[in-house]
A = this chain, B = another copy of it.
Amino acid sequence: MTVTIVDVRAYDIRFPTSRTLAGSDAMNADPDYSAAYVILRTDHPNGLEGHGFTFTIGRGNEVCVAAIRALAPLVRGHTLEEFTADMRAFWRHMTGDSQLRWIGPEKGVIHMATAALVNAVWDLWAKVEGKPLWKLLVDMSPEQLVACIDFRYLSDVLSPAEALELLQRLAPTRAEREAELLRLGYPAYTTGAGWSGYSDEQLRLLCRQALAEGWRHFKLKVGLGLERDRQRARIMREEIGPGCTLMMDANQVWEVGEAIAVMQELAEFQPLWIEEPTSPDDILGHAAIARAIAPVRVATGEHVQNRIIFKQLFQAQAIGFCQIDACRLGGVNEVLAVLLLAAKYGIPVCPHAGGVGLSEYVQHLAIFDYIAVSGSLEGRMIEYTPHLHEHFVHPVVMRNGRYLPPLAPGYSATMHADSIAAYSFPDGPVWAEMQRSEAEELSE
């Protein structure tokens, strides 16, 4: 039996999160968490569909939708089996269109749109196999996994043979780690307490609540000016005590020299890492910061455009933590490449998962990473924020500050049809209502 992708539908879905300042930080003052969302309709007798999306923060989501539509002919009319028979060729097909390549290559809007479609194909595959995505991956042999990866522009640091060796090392013991995760879940940290737009009182209260819920790892947004950063760091450290982990996140607001100077001051609060201290494109800048502020480590990734930048961040010893994003990178295939690069360089992977649906995605990647690639939980945590999970058919399940492995078939990307309809931009009822009431306010 073959499954044909008979149609590709793209949706512009936006949540009006800027109204609450959840998600606010030094660079992103007012995000409306959004998804450029795609549904692959098929002729499968059970009506199985592939769902995928890329995440944005509002304006510009329509540009990603336009890019998904530009890529759609590469998928429409093909069978799933054509793609799964050679996943490396599939990924080259998606990223190698001779004209579309120009508007990347492999970066920004076109690459984020690629991720939405590539992830939707993996979601469909996992559903057809009746497995959660992580399990689909865990059940592949090292050879099959290597065959999913495009080594283009990586071969100077990672060959297919080396990747195979890395995977073979852990293959015999995969079952133990799978059983462990099913029992205990994957460690997580919370970003929900430390948004920059919150008052000191909110910050204090949210830290206490999170402690009570079982959280032991906390992230604080910084980059608001040294005095304000210091004040907020003091509050958080007071609340969580010396035994819990504190991470800091500057969301790219600093120059290289500024990052070094500020972090030398904030070191007294013993942060584990400083995340996005400067431009995500500045490999050599991150390396300079890392050298200057050790033992505090540098983390980045949510804006790292592709495997080629990650390769160099590793080569230059620029980061101590690798924060892959499930839809900034071009989907599962490229994530696999980065997991292997990180393993080669011994850098822990701690996925980015703010926003909408990113937690749902990245739990699969982190779980697979532990079982098949890294074999370690040391220094490894998935980000967690409490927002918008209710819109997913199979939302993440947390227990004691850990992600329990998802069991439903697919990549956990499927949104409720009601949510898609309600939050469609600009014509869905939520946005139409908002425009009406804003117009009324203006006329009052």
Contacts and interface: CB of A to CB of B under 8 A. Distances in A.
A443 interface: no
Count this chain's copies in the assembly. 2
A400 interface: no
State which size class the interface on A falls in: 35 or more
A115 to B, nearest CB: 12
B153 A30 contact: no
Nearest to A305: B107
Contacts of A279: 105, 152-153, 308
Nearest to A36: B103
A98 interface: yes
Interface stretch (A57-65, A79-87, A380-388): A57-65
B153 A101 contact: no
Given A60-B70, A109-B110, A110-B108, A282 B255 contact: no
A51 B303 CA distance: 32
B312 A56 contact: no
Most buried by B among A153, A256, A312: A153
B156 A257 contact: yes
Contact of A27 (B58, B60, B66, B101): B101
A306 to B, nearest CB: 7
Interface string A63-104: 110110010000000000000000000000000011111111
Contacts of A64: 103
A284 B207 CA distance: 42
A325 to B, nearest CB: 11
Contacts of A309: 281
A8 B309 CA distance: 35
A99 B60 contact: yes
Most buried by B among A32, A67, A288: A67
A142 interface: no
A111 interface: yes
Most buried by B among A63, A67, A97, A106: A63
A155 B281 CA distance: 15
Given A56-B103, A108-B111, A308 B288 contact: no
